[in-house]
Structure 1
């Protein structure tokens, strides 16, 4: 087995947002040199929860790791850019650009909250801190398939984990500046050093500032983030780390374009909102303690607390008969909402991991428990126009008072403060604890089996302050989630695996009749093949993976489009069951001639497996076999890079092709988002030592495309062709 430092289990940074326990620092079969390397990794705080002391070929799961080098190579600045690298991930409705939302293997999580990605192994997608910037991220992992036996309350198709930048007990850093189309100006920095008489404290300071207009005038944004971290070597066996997350953003609320069968999509450069930014903020703290008891057993524990807020006004396109664009293709009717969202998220976690022998069998065990509490407050006021379908009855005064925007000659700011009435005022508190265990057993030199289980206990309190008097609904539930896997190592470079896992996810909110939702239940199965090319060929490094999967869900939530529901607000409704089956191919290749490739392809058939019709007979109907929203059947991403020398100066060139198949854009309808292909190019050169200059061109052929949709009146347009010039000085 390779030493831990050279495997995915030894790369990346330690967990911070909760209490976990790491894996044995060294296996008994490793020599003293390997043990020293692993001990160094442990002391530096570069261990991660859940990963275990496993080579990638030993894991019965399909994982993708996007290194910092790859993220820089493709010019990824935000989480959406990075997620496009995985063909198993598809963009979902992103709440007007105010958070990250995605599906894995065809399924997304709660449609009314950001997707539940992890940071250093702990949930950080909850809350309203705005879309995630990558400046403080060392690497990103897409962990596909059944994970609930360890991760617990994750998304149904898999988990995304961001690994943050932490001190490496060295001195140095960089300053990077970017200018781009639409007045983009961005400055970021990363500096680290060592402190203390014994140089046993590492400090790292990472931050950024960005100001930019948009191709959808007059939308503009301003962002700032600061992510310092400390790592203290308490002793050779113990380390303590702290991370701070602070991000403040002013963002346009942009529901996108409107689509009509008669008039097509409204122009992608016409912003149908108003130039009144939404303000988001997040302040997060993560504290982590790691301790190695001996060569085989270790503990990782931590606590995290995260506060987020979202506040501001929004002008959004109307639905159904209230939408004037459906009648004339010349105007867009809108409604107004004012929002004040706050959340607090607390996590506590502890994990013990190690290994032992029973006879000839080697056991690698992870045992842990966690507790979390999510406190979520939503206040919304709303104004809806009087317009109900008679476009000829509109007067110039109506155009202003009814918030109707002319597409060819948009006039903004006519009525920024309509009289809005209370629409939502509720507080929701979700509390839960879990206990989990996993044991991977070496039955022979080639065959390993994994057995895992998790028990969760939840409680949910939802208070509606609009009721008179205020009412609180309380519910509770518990769930046992098993996990099984098997790995057969054909040789040092090839393994076959199979796995099964069940997931359990508590669902937030309520339907328009104030009923809480039952939990979402997931069953996942997959079989796959993995290859470590470095063990097979002398001229290439990297990995190849091929996977067949099936994911089944029950109590699947969709948008409730019934008039009775939309008259009150926007709600979800459980639509029953859905199933996703597919095939994935992933490759990460590096050749001796400085040529590298990243290839990711996925075929995903995600559809409803039952028929559903609302009981009132007014809204949509779902038939068995109908596609799940925003889930393309085919998706692939190919990136290539070539290192070379120009006049003695190091340089590189490269580019990529990203393809997304057509997708359903509105549940229960035949509205389809068209497929699209985008091409990007980049070049980079280092004219002098420590200075690099880079040019990116995205969407080279200026493709008109649409990335996601909530309905035919909320469709996210893709960015036209743009350029970015970046200069980086390292020191």
Structure 2
């Protein structure tokens, strides 16, 4: 595994994007599509054309898409990807690995819980690896591409794909600086400066720095990032762009709070049950993207790109033991037995792709086609050491089980145990894919989409502890189809179907590699505009299923078998834009019924999962609502707004009846534009100081939500 360290790059660049109004996401997408086919005087934006998307407006795309734009990110004072995804009711938080990676499910399906959730960055697979949580300082918009699109993207979950569109250099010289201070000694600064060098080149320099304590005692984090981009204009129709990602994060590993006897709230949500002496875990990411964009004509274009990304996560942690025989808490109700772990995880990810997009006519039919190929390499190296408490017996001491009193935590009571060998493995995946899509305009009101993707994948696994190796190759074709009917200028109806698959890394106890997860998905929906398209929305019904889900091998603890099946179905309603009275509105609601479809054993504990059991961390009902309005006060502008988020009851531990309670959060915010280039922002989150829990892995690994918090920010633009 290669390692890249660029310490000299770090400097505390200033500010925090904290202001603005909720964006009209559909309108933004229409504008982005228009930019892709702009004339030569706007040629720089062609470097932002997204692979797999084409030049389709949202109305004529047979799938539900939610866009979270820069203004909405600013208005909600968001700095992390998962916080932004909370705005989409279709997305549910999952186990976040002690706060050190992003994990979420779209429409009920989350993927491999032992890895961060996968997402795209400018169309590249970018979420793999161990680079920590994603900051939004360099994010232009976040696209939640829901439904049957796995046939085109490949290697994803059937519920949908998250694509992050980054801020890239263009030929408009400008900048902004943001600074923020908030509760729990939070301090943040970021800056974004774009500089045009004549008409030939441009550079955009983005950086952020944040340091914060937590409402959880002894917990803290520090993050820094440098995200520059460069664009070079090689001619009226050709651009080359380069993007660099350098981020370094340090955070204390925190498995959260505990439920005693299955009951939450018996201990303070502020108490930390690890060991401060472990020190922080470091998560680093170094990534490079290069894209070449050329327009042959107004109808045909070529996009070629490559990405290389290295990530690393390393450090110690002390975590509650989950096995009943080794956990004293299950006996006396106050002594929490704990493991101590050391991790050195590394990921290397290389992608190269090429895509041709164009349009042509056959008689009275108009075809818009995408044709592409891609190659993907991912190496997942994991060194994992562990100290585990002894089985509880009559003579087992508190030191032997590394206990802590949950009602009166005393840190450093015992010497920190030395973890011993547990896992030392290297899993590798090599994948070649080709895809084609043709959207055919049959009439002014009717379009059909046909396409598919072929993938050939090789997976290799090496157990470096015993030198046992295995390798396997497989291939699959995944079809896609859709139809769009324009019922009126304000309403379009659509239906879509798609298949896909995702490789399962790892092996059985006998060293046999897994088949990939296979999936099928379908949806029908309507897209509409109200008040002369000022308010736009989508209503969709969906059903998804997948098989070859990994589950535990009852005869071989710690290993897995591909015997699981799952299904998800539901309803979504999304509205965004402007109501009469100049009120900006964001509304997102989802009903998701996600369940197991086969009697199996749970992957982690061997607990029975019955057909019909709910999937972990998936609420049936989720709602996100936000409204704001701007008022003129003399020569200044004051914006006042508020929001509500409701998350329903969720299963908190697979194979049990342990639930996380539902919760409703309220936030208020205000933005005051003092003069043209100066704006002040303030917000209060969790206004009523609700006690809530965002996600869980087990009854002893539950993540509590943040109490009431406030922040104030200043934004300067130039």
TM value normalised by structure 2: 0.92
What residue in structure 2 maps to residue 548 of structure 1?
541
Aligned residues of 1:115 and 1:155 also touching (Cα < 8 A): no
Deviation (angstroms), 1:262: 6.3
Cα deviation, 1:292-334, whole Å, max 9, x if unaligned, reads 0011110000110000000000111111232222223322211
TM-aligned CA deviation for residue 619 of structure 1: 3.0
Quick one: structure 1 residues 56 and 474, their matched pair in 2 at CA, closer, same or farther if it must change by over 3 Å?
same
Aligned twin of 2:12: none
CA distance in 2: counterparts of 1:387 and 1:695, whole angstroms: 52
Of 647, 650, 654, the residue aligned with 2:641 is 654
Q: Tell me the equivalent position of 1:8.
A: 29
Match 2:476 to one of 474, 479, 489: 479
| 1:502 partner SS | strand
- What is the 5 A alignment of 1:412-561? 412-415=411-414, 417-467=416-466, 470-533=467-530, 537-538=531-532, 541-558=534-551, 560=552
SS in 2 for 1:70: helix
- Give structure 2 stretches of 5+ with no counterpart: 1-25
SS at match of 1:555: strand
Structure 1 pair 49–563 and aligned structure 2 pair: CA distance change class (3 A): same
Residue equivalent to 1:627: 614
Would you say 1:600 and 2:621 are equivalent positions? Answer: no
Spell out, residue by residue over 1:242-285, the C-alpha distance to the aligned partner (whole angstroms, 9 max, x if none).
00001000011111112132654432111111221100100000
Q: CA deviation at 1:647?
A: 4.7
Report the counterpart of residue 17 of structure 2 in structure 1. none
The residue aligned with 2:327 is 323
Q: Distance in 2 between the 1:43 and 1:168 partners?
A: 7
Map of 1:16 onto structure 2: none
**Do 1:43 and 1:238's aligned partners in 2 also have CA atoms closer than 8 Å?**
no
* 1:642-681 mapped onto 2 (5 Å cutoff): 642-681=629-668
SS in 1 for 2:39: helix
Give the drift of 1:613: 4.6
Aligned equivalents of 2:328, 2:77: Cα separation in 1: 40
Once the two structures are overlaid, the 10-residue window that deviates more, 325-334 or 346-355, is 325-334
Q: Which whole-Å CA distance do the structure 2 matches of 1:71 and 1:262 have between them?
A: 36
Deviations 1:665-688 (A, max 9, x none): 111111111111111111111223
Partner in structure 2 of residue 585 of structure 1: 573
Q: How does 1:31-180 map to 2 (within 5 A)?
A: 36=39, 40-41=42-43, 45-180=47-182
Equivalent residue, structure 2, for 1:722: 709
Residue in structure 1 matched with residue 21 of structure 2 by the alignment: none
Aligned position for 1:199: 199
- What residue in structure 1 maps to residue 268 of structure 2? 267
User: What residue ranges of structure 1 are gaps of 5+ in the alignment?
Assistant: 13-22, 27-34
The answer to whether the Cα contact below 8 Å between 2:44 and 2:170 also exists between their aligned partners in 1 is: no
Contact 2:501 2:516 in 1 (8 A): yes
- Aligned CA distance change for structure 1 residues 129 and 268 (closer, same or farther; 3 Å): same
How far does residue 592 in structure 1 lie from its aligned partner after superposition?
5.8
Instruction: Say if 2:229 is the partner of 1:229.
Output: yes
The separation in 1 between residues aligned to 2:248 and 2:510, in whole angstroms, is: 36
Q: How much is the aligned-residue C-alpha RMSD, in angstroms?
A: 2.1
Deviation at residue 192 of structure 1 after TM alignment: 0.8
The whole-number CA distance in structure 2 between the counterparts of 1:331 and 1:139 is 46
Matched, 1:292 2:295: yes
Question: Where do 1:707-718 residues align within 5 Å?
Answer: 707-718=694-705
Deviations 1:96-131 (A, max 9, x none): 111000001111111111101111111111000000
CA contact (8 A) 1:217 1:271 kept: yes
C-alpha change, 1:145 and 1:372, in structure 2 (3 Å) is: same
Please give the residue correspondences for 1:302-313 in structure 2 after superposition, counting only pairs within 5 Å. Answer: 302-313=305-316
Q: Once structures 1 and 2 are overlaid, which stretch shifts more, 85-94 or 710-719?
A: 710-719
Tell me the residue number matched to 2:208: 208
Give the drift of 1:655: 1.3
Residue 612 (structure 1) shift: 2.3
Q: Is the 8 A contact 2:43 2:237 kept in 1?
A: no
Which residue does 1:402 correspond to in 2? 401
Aligned partners of 1:601 and 1:636 also within 8 Å: yes
